[in-house]
A and B are shown apart, each in its own frame.
Chain A
């Protein structure tokens, strides 16, 4: 026993400290990196999957929508409000003084063709669907949309005018494929 002990002590004293540090750092470093990559690949499974992402674009034919009418379509599981605006509504939206708005944005910046307003029909407060798409719905104080959950009022450009919502109704990415067809997403 004694012999082994003294032998061990010898080896301990003659240990190559640099080599040990190197081994320690590389082992720990690789373990952290490998663990991190593995952990991320696990967490990432909870992000939107490919089939969910595949539903990310929708084409809509606008021709059946008469002036003054609205259409609601689904895009990424959310309602999209498409409104064929009347001249009055367009004038109302573009004539508003931008400086007084909660979330400042001109009407021009929110439309591609002023006749058509396309917005995500989800209140920017806590995600309810505002009223104003159906005939007889309350359109709020600014003749656009009204969210019944916590009382946000949106104007004919989908801009927040009154209530707790911090932002205007989001304009989704979309383009006119032809005069009457848009592709959302």
Chain B
């Protein structure tokens, strides 16, 4: 296919440019002809949705930055001005605010998709790890963005999260002072958070580009988890998946717009409409919903340092997934035991999110501890054990085509063109 493009030199302006800068060949190769497994389900929409949401966030963010003032005396007022005086400022801010939540929902589903269908396994390890890097960058960006309106939750969220670093012995206090640029969360902190909040999304764009390069090296995984074996297993990206992604985008935008127009503050916290007050801590500090599971893990541990380490470990463990789960079969559809533990894990994460929003006392602490224990056992005990002992289901298809045609033992496609 590649040879065809090179031999048939296109005519006209497009051809002239393409010969010197093969951008059209590149686009054709990656967005049009790009062979994609023909059995992808709607869970494969979330990658492109995440990309689109990133673009929405960057555009609204740039426009908001033109109106925002990163100074402790003016920040809160400038956000209120955006809400009241700037033309469509309310729309801009509500899109940006809820867009962050949408971004996390999409990315969480995207990650759970990968977890279910084993998309992190050979040869997609680096693809997966780049995804974890994107998640970490997103978390840092979202956290710093939440500080910018300089409300009570902004201020105390920033105080609590930056204080996490004080848990490290000896260097802890220096790190915290360095992060703050002072002795408490104050103006230097706000201005650097603003700068980094503006910078990091572009770093995310860079890592997303690498993520895509790694993806296109071996192509998408698919619901059977079986490798593409012949051209019969694939269809061109355009028009089949452009249309499917486009339809998914429509559904997504309906949900997104519903939130923006009818419940813009549903996922926020009312305390953040009170200007920051360094002398008074709100009675109940809660992070944004997407951090709740990690917050629950932090609070489940009575020891400060251990709690902080476990919370970081909860994300970092994802980097090691390709080596924790060495089972040969990718898709959970053909791993009856893994499938059950997987769903238990999904429920476990929701429970963690729920206790993270509850006060850290009584029964909630116990629930948080059990849920934390399962969170880590899933990765560190269950996965390695299943890799050794779980039998492969008899229903594992020999190829994507045979699965699609639901012929379990059809080997005819296997013989034709092996890649």
Which residues does A use to contact B, with CB under 8 Å?
46-49, 52, 56, 72, 74, 76-79, 125-129, 147-151, 164-166
Question: What B residues does A79 contact at CB under 8 A?
Answer: 278-279
Q: Nearest Cβ distance between residue A76 and chain B, in whole angstroms? A: 4
Residue-by-residue, is B132-167 near A (CB-CB < 8 Å gives 1, otherwise 0)? 000000000000000000000000100110111010
Bound Cα distance A129, B164 (Å): 16
Contact with A along B176-191 (1 / 0, CB 8 A): 0110111111101000
Closest to B179 in A: A46
Is B377 part of the binding interface, using a Cβ–Cβ cutoff of 8 Å?
Answer: no
Known A-B contacts A52-B188, A164-B304, A166-B304; A129 and B279 likewise in contact (beta carbons under 8 Å): yes
Q: Give bound CA distance, A98 to B284, whole Å.
A: 32
Measured between alpha carbons, how far is A47 from B280 in the docked complex, in Å?
Answer: 26
State whether B188 touches A126 (Cβ < 8 A). no
| Cβ-defined contact, A126 with B163, below 8 A | yes
Return B38 CB to nearest CB of chain A, in Å.
Answer: 51
Tell which of B164, B177, B279, B281 touches A47, judged by Cβ atoms closer than 8 Å: B177
Q: Which of A48, A49, A128 contacts B160 (CB 8 A)?
A: A128
Known contacts A47-B178, A77-B186; 10 further A-B pairs (Cβ under 8 A): A48-B177, A76-B182, A77-B183, A78-B183, A79-B278, A126-B163, A127-B160, A148-B284, A149-B281, A151-B360
A151, B361: Cβ atoms under 8 Å?
yes
Q: How far is the CA of A79 from the CA of B188 in the complex (A)?
A: 18
Residues from chain B with a CB closer than 8 A to the CB of A52 are: 181-183, 186, 188
- In contact, A125 and B284 (Cβ under 8 angstroms): no
Separation of A177 and B188 alpha carbons in the complex (Å)? 32
**Which residues of A are found within 8 Å of B185, using beta-carbon distances?**
77
Interface contact B192-A150, CB-CB below 8 Å: no
Which residues of B lie under 8 Å from residue A56 when comparing CB positions? 183
Q: Which residues of B contact A164 (CB under 8 A)?
A: 299, 302, 304, 307
**B360 near A76: Cβ-Cβ < 8 Å:** no
In the complex, the chain A residue whose C-beta lies closest to that of B359 is A151
Contacts of B164 in A (CB 8 A): 126
Note all chain B residues with C-beta closer than 8 A to A47: 177-178, 181
Count of chain A to chain B residue pairs whose CB atoms are closer than 8 Å in the complex: 78
**B178: chain A residues within 8 A (beta carbon):** 46-47
Which 7 residue pairs of A and B lie closest in terms of their CB atoms, listed nearest first?
Answer: A77-B184, A76-B183, A127-B163, A128-B281, A126-B160, A127-B159, A126-B163
Interface size of B in residues (CB-CB distance below 8 Å)? 33
B171 interface residue, CB < 8 Å from A?
A: no
Query: Smallest CB-CB separation from A43: which chain B residue?
Result: B178
A156 to B29, CA, bound (A): 72
Task: List the B side residues contacting A149 at CB < 8 Å.
Answer: 160, 281, 284-285
Cβ-defined contact, A78 with B304, below 8 A = no
11 contacts between A and B (CB under 8 A): A47-B178, A48-B182, A52-B181, A76-B184, A78-B184, A125-B163, A126-B163, A129-B279, A129-B281, A149-B281, A151-B360
Chain B: CB-nearest residue to A79: B279
Q: For residue A72, which residue of chain B has the nearest CB? A: B279
Interface presence of B283 (CB below 8 A): yes
Q: Is the interface of A mostly helix, strand, loop or mixed?
A: loop
A150 and B163 CA atoms in complex are apart in Å by 14
A126 to B295, CA, bound (A): 12
Determine the chain A residues whose CB is within 8 A of the CB of B305 once the complex forms.
166
One digit per residue, 1 when the CB lies within 8 angstroms of any chain A CB and 0 when it does not, for chain B 49-75 equals 000000000000000000000000000
Partner of A46, one of B160, B163, B192: B192
- Kindly provide the distance from the CB of B170 to the nearest chain A CB, expressed in whole angstroms: 14
Cα distance A126–B164 in the bound complex, in angstroms: 6
**A128 x B279 contact (CB < 8 A):** no
The CA-CA distance from A46 to B189 in the complex, in Å, is: 9
- Name the A residues within 8 Å of B307 (CB-CB): 164
Q: Which residue of B lies closest to A165 (CB)?
A: B304
B270-311 CB contact bits vs A (8 Å, 1 = yes)?
000000001111011100000000000001001111010000
The minimal Cβ–Cβ distance linking A134 to chain B, given in whole angstroms, is: 10
In the bound complex, do residue B184 and residue A148 qualify as a contact, i.e. CB atoms below 8 Å apart? Answer: no
A128 touches which one: B159, B166, B182, B303 (CB < 8 A)? Answer: B159
Q: Are B278 and A150 in contact (CB under 8 A)?
A: no
Q: Which of B281, B283, B285 has the most CB of A within 10 A?
A: B281
Contact assessment for B188 and A49 in the assembled complex, using a CB-CB cutoff below 8 Å: yes
Q: Which residue of A lies closest to B176 (CB)?
A: A127
Chain A residues closer than 8 Å to B304, beta-carbon distance: 125, 164-166
Residues of chain A within 8 A of B163, CB atoms compared:
125-127
B182-A77 in contact (CB<8A)? yes
Contact at B281–A148, with CB atoms within 8 Å?
yes
Give chain A residues whose Cβ lies under 8 Å from the Cβ of B184. Answer: 76-78
CA distance A56 to B361 in the complex (A): 37
Task: Point out the residues of chain A lying under 8 angstroms from B302, CB to CB.
Answer: 164
Smallest CB separation, B129 vs chain A (Å): 27
Q: Which of A48, A56, A74 has most B Cβ within 10 Å?
A: A48
User: B143 → chain A, closest Cβ, in Å?
Assistant: 14
> Contacts of B303 on A, CB cut-off 8 Å?
166
